[in-house]
Amino acid sequence: MHHPVQPSEALRERRGRRLLAAAAAVAVAGSGLAALALPAQGATPQPTTSVSSPNGRGDVILNMFQWSWNAIAQECTTTIGPAGFGYVQTSPPQEHIQGTEWWTSYQPVSYKIESKLGTRAEYQNMINTCKKAGVGIIADAVVNHMAGADKGGGTGTGGSSYSVENYPGLYGPNDFNDCKSNINNYGDRSNVQNCRLVSLQDLRTSSDYVRTKIAGYFNDLISMGVAGFRIDAAKHIPAADLEAIKAKLSKPDVFWVHEVIGAHGEPIQPSEYLGSGDSHEFHYARDLKTHFDGQIKNLRSIGDGKLPSNRAGVFVDNHDTERNGETMNYKWGAKYTLANAFMLAWPYGSPSVYTGYTWTDKDAGAPGATGSKVPDASCSSSSWTCIQRKPEITGMVKFHNLVAGTSVTNWWDNGNNQVAFGRGDKGFLVLNNEASPSTRTYSTSLPAGTYTDVVSATGKTYTVNGAGQFTATVPQYGALALVKAGTTPTDPPTTTNPTDPTTPPASGAMKVFYKSAWSSTKVHYKVGSGAWTTAPGVAMTPACDGYVSAEIPGGASGVTAAFNNGAGSWDNNGSKDYALTGASVVVADGAATQGDPCAPVADTTTVYYPKGTWATTNIHFKVGSGAWTAVPGVRMAPACDGWLKHTIDSKGAKITAVFTDGAGAWDNNGSKDYTLSGETVQVKNGAVSAGSPCAPEPTDPPTTTEPTDPPTTEPGSCTTEGKQPLVPTGLKAVLDGGTATVTWNAPRDSECAVLYTVVREGGAFASKRDVAGPSITDDGLASGLTYTYKVRAEGADGQASAYSAKVTAAAATEPTDPPTTDPTTDPTDEPTDEPTTGPTTPPTGGSAEGPYYATNPSGQKGKQKTITVDGVASEWTSDMIVAQGVANDDPRIFRGSHEGPVYDLYSLSGAWDDTNLYLMWQITNVTDVTDPGQGYPISDNGKPTNGDIPFQLAFDTDSTKQGSGLIDGTTGGVWGINNKFTNGVDKLAMFSAKSGVGQPSIFSLNAGGAFDYKTANVLGFTAGGVKYKAGDGFTGSTLMGVKKNGYEGYTPADLTDASKYSDLLKAGHNKAQDTFYEMSIPLALLGMTKAKLESQGLGVQLISTFGQSGINSLPHDPTVLDNATKAYSADESTSMEKEDWDTFSVSLARIGK
């Protein structure tokens, strides 16, 4: 059997190293499968680490692409070392050409350690700092070539001059190979190893002089303390040359791994480089992509036919492959995390975890990069992926290190996308690569006991029984990794008599708040060194949305605690328990802080900072996960003696901030930034504390009246410099529905009032807003509640007036003046003139959410017709459409398009005959016109039929019934989907976009009016006679949508503007990218007959999902877009709609009547 050579090798291998001006199409030739003389790999290989660990850590490498040396040093101390990584691979440290693109780092100019990522001194400091943290440094070494010939000459990042084949003091023309053309035949060994890789000047590595120079570079790095090397573009250097170079090193046995991109049929293969070191196994990463994009059931054979395990470097992606599509990358979201988890658990090769930055332009350099400098990476910015900080990754590094040296046991798979396996008697991993949660009992080789799930941020524990079994629910696209837990929190301390504590508790009580999703929550604790409560502890009571609380007597002096649901599920802080101090403590998402999450949250935060010696002080900040202000930030205003302040519209979110004089001096809290929250907060000498340092402002109006004499100053001049402004007067708050219009009179010295502060009290939250003019509009007020307002003025020098007296918002009263009409007019007469305004409801075929959304357009209710479910849409006509959507409104598009919004519902049609209901829905994938550069057509899950993603069909067949969408007795939705219903739904059909996957079923309400998983209320599609089939293409004559994407500022508001729509077919959209589904459902399954359908009708709504939540629906419901522009918690580059709760309330489309 012949396998064609993979195309465009140079672009695939070294896309970043090519010079754009002269990049040429690279032809490849040759065919046939080259036989590798490799030992066969068994399904359960025995691991041998290929990187020694003298520091006592594991062999996991963290590839920190384009991280500066200073940033790596800090991360080694705070994250990498504590997480248990053994090594960091840095980007190339040698001097290189200038330029913002990332690939300039791979075009050397000299072997000075002076790159845009830092200086030699900074590289040395990084090595030393990381070594103290137990982390070794592996340098990415570029020794195959120098800079590109078509770049000519210039000055490098370290000041060295260069020109074509002329690098003063290092290399001249005789030091480069004779071939001056680009590689054009990957089937010719000489061509690959002697010609130029996309213009890069190829060194004559057969020369002893060149070998000595390269060895000198390696020896310099070794003397600095580098632990090993990645040999970039090793495939283009003969293996014998590399062996000769390594023999010249001061440490000839130093670790190095070759980058040899193996391709079937080529003469150069990774195995021939094993004489001088390990080689990267690119087939491993490619296979991971294939498995996780298809089925992972065969992952156990991923080592078969590859390099020996103890000589293979493995990875999920690297800086080249994440950009050229050869492997998975961070844009795959949860699946990418699962692949990394598998790599860290499976005993094949030396694993390398990759961390870099987000990108849309594949050539773009790191965030903020200039031609000669890359700013320090910051994990507080969504621009950096920072995968090394994800709990799933740090947990799996721990798992990898703990199970080292064990073999695979107890393999299990479901024949599709769920697998589980053990590592000896030390650990057990479960991967769920499906769109639904999975609950089952697993058999392991673990001894009986309590085990911690190390990929859980909360340190959840599980009990393995004497038979080695445990039961768990693994979320969709989730994992579970068990290792032996420490002392369980239910055990009392062994050093203290539990009935006679040695330290009496303090008299002050502690109120502890816990963020809980359990239906019942208990806190198990001890005060000081006293006795533990009796397990499972004290019941906690609901406090506010998402939180429960309990008061612990005497707890203010210190409490050790863990939390549980009373049924075996624990949060014990990863077996460390929680150490709590203070009068009010919040435990959420694995962290304990002081505070009260249920206290009223102010809309603003006023930050105080000492005046100091800077002429000007600016605060540079971001709110929550939002964007930073433009450097240098916002100038702070005078507050009181020695203090400055600035008020930020925080809406209760945390603020990340630093301070600067705008001229290069910064206070960034020792590179950690400041985290600020609350209504008032002060920062001084690196410490953050609550409250204002200035004297309290009076809250009551003055008892004296304002002077009646006119001001003595010139008009327009200020009367309040150094004094409090006068109090605003005439405050009014007029309530109209959920909106209050608040107005007041400016004080007579208003020329000096630069802003007004308005405080609203009442409702669930207090509100505080700063405005420039004497009025505000306050929206979103709840009916039936009382709201009060007060206002104060503030001058340019920061001095503020007292607050005005409070007023209560009230509805406007009717005018008391008599009507101007003729009193004899009959009040019952109809007006004679039509109103001059337009209609208040959208036109037919539109809705309040957009002009092209429609439910039962033109009154259409489907039609009687027998349909053949065969994946051919020719029997469907436009008069059968019962719900119309628009193209390009998948919520993920508003944060970009990289994830491929291919579950974009466009229309839903209905029909029926004597026995069946028929449905057809159209799905579009218009990324070819909305973001053509993304390159997301039919491949890579670009068709919904390629992905195991749930659909929901919601039906209203009985107007007397209403299901919530939740499973009876739980807070979870059917199939784990976060969808609720208030629109009369009484039946749900659940099925996968990929036919033949899972257990598609119809759910009916039980006697209690809820859905459940009991056999009596669930009927499978096969047993019930439900059929569905997909086909390719688009059935309509127009395809209306907004031709934008999130990178261009596209927001859901654009959907309401008819002028922004266009026919995307006319824009060149390829219909082959679209998909439609046909389905037939026996009417009897829905409790219907033909007569009943035609006389009563039924309601239907189609929902497409992704992640845990609904992302699109027909009829369109705005709930699928309410969080579209917010960030998904696991991947900021995509939408929160994948995980939020959606409540569907719009009327269903009617079929029949």
What's the pLDDT tens digit per position in 657-702?
998 888 778 888 887 888 888 888 899 888 888 778 885 543 333 3
**For the segment 1112-1121, what is each residue's pLDDT rounded down to a tens digit?**
999 999 888 8
Which among 114, 232, 241, 376 is annotated as catalytic? 232
Average pLDDT over residues 856-864: 90
9-402 has which CATH code? 3.20.20.80
Q: How far apart are CA 1040 and CA 852, in angstroms?
A: 8
510-594 has which CATH code? 2.60.40.10
Tokens 């020794």, located at residue: 143
With contact defined as beta carbons under 8 Å apart, do 2 and 31 qualify?
A: yes
User: Does residue 343 or residue 798 have the better pLDDT?
Assistant: 343
Q: Side-chain half-sphere of 1006: how many Cα atoms within 13 Å?
A: 15
Q: What is the CATH architecture of 729-811?
A: Sandwich (2.60)
Supply the DSSP symbol for 665: -
Give the model's pLDDT for residue 811. 67
Residue 37 CB partners (closer than 8 Å, separation 6+): 271
User: Does residue 646 or residue 815 have the better pLDDT?
Assistant: 646
With contact defined as beta carbons under 8 Å apart, do 313 and 280 qualify?
A: yes
**From 10-14, 135-139, 748-752, 798-802, the region with the lowest mean pLDDT:** 10-14
The structure tokens listed for 925 are 């994938």
Average pLDDT over residues 231-259: 94
Q: Is 272 a catalytic residue?
A: no
Sign of dihedral through CA atoms 1046, 1050, 1052, 1055?
negative
Count of beta carbons in the 10 Å neighbourhood of residue 140: 21
The structure tokens listed for 53 are 């660990």
With contact defined as beta carbons under 8 Å apart, do 446 and 464 qualify?
A: yes
Give the model's pLDDT for residue 602. 60
Give the model's pLDDT for residue 578. 87
Pairing verdict, β 427-432 and 438-443: unpaired
Give the model's pLDDT for residue 753. 57
- Mapped to the 3 state alphabet, what secondary structure does 641-662 carry? CCEEEEEECCCCCCEEEEEECC
Q: Is 948 a catalytic residue?
A: no
> Could you give the angle at the alpha carbon of 784 between the alpha carbons of 778 and 787, nearest 5°?
40
Q: How far apart are CA 1147 and CA 259, in angstroms?
A: 58
Residue 1034 CB partners (closer than 8 Å, separation 6+): 922, 924, 1065, 1071, 1074, 1076
Which among 95, 114, 140, 259 is annotated as catalytic? 259
Is residue 706 predicted with pLDDT exceeding 90? no
- pTM recorded for the entire structure: 0.47
Average pLDDT over residues 979-991: 90
Average pLDDT over residues 962-977: 87
pLDDT classification of 726: cutoffs 50, 70, 90: confident
**Secondary element (H or E) of residue 541:** strand 541-544
Is residue 839 predicted with pLDDT exceeding 50? no
pLDDT classification of 812: cutoffs 50, 70, 90: low
Domain 408-433+442-484 and domain 605-690, same fold? Reply is yes
Query: 3.40.50.2300, 3.30.70.1450, 2.60.40.10, 3.40.50.300: which CATH number matches 605-690?
Result: 2.60.40.10
Average pLDDT over residues 1125-1137: 77
Using CA atoms, how far residue 929 sits from 36, 1047, 1057, in Å, is 44, 14, 19
Query: 3.30.1280.10, 2.60.40.1180, 2.60.40.3140, 1.10.1240.10: which CATH number matches 408-433+442-484?
Result: 2.60.40.1180
Q: Side-chain half-sphere of 829: how many Cα atoms within 13 Å?
A: 8
Residue 885 CB partners (closer than 8 Å, separation 6+): 852, 853, 905, 906, 907, 908, 1112, 1114, 1116
Average pLDDT over residues 543-557: 83
pLDDT classification of 460: cutoffs 50, 70, 90: confident
pLDDT classification of 13: cutoffs 50, 70, 90: very low
pLDDT classification of 506: cutoffs 50, 70, 90: very low
Give the model's pLDDT for residue 984. 86
Percent of the chain at pLDDT above 70? 82
Is residue 1003 predicted with pLDDT exceeding 80? yes
Is residue 963 predicted with pLDDT exceeding 60? yes
Residue 363 has φ and ψ, to the nearest 5°, of: -95, -10
Give the residue extent of every domain in the chain: 9-402, 408-433+442-484, 510-594, 605-690, 729-811, 854-963+972-997+1021-1151
Identify the CA nearest to 994 among candidates 1029, 953, 1032, 959.
1029
Give the model's pLDDT for residue 39. 25
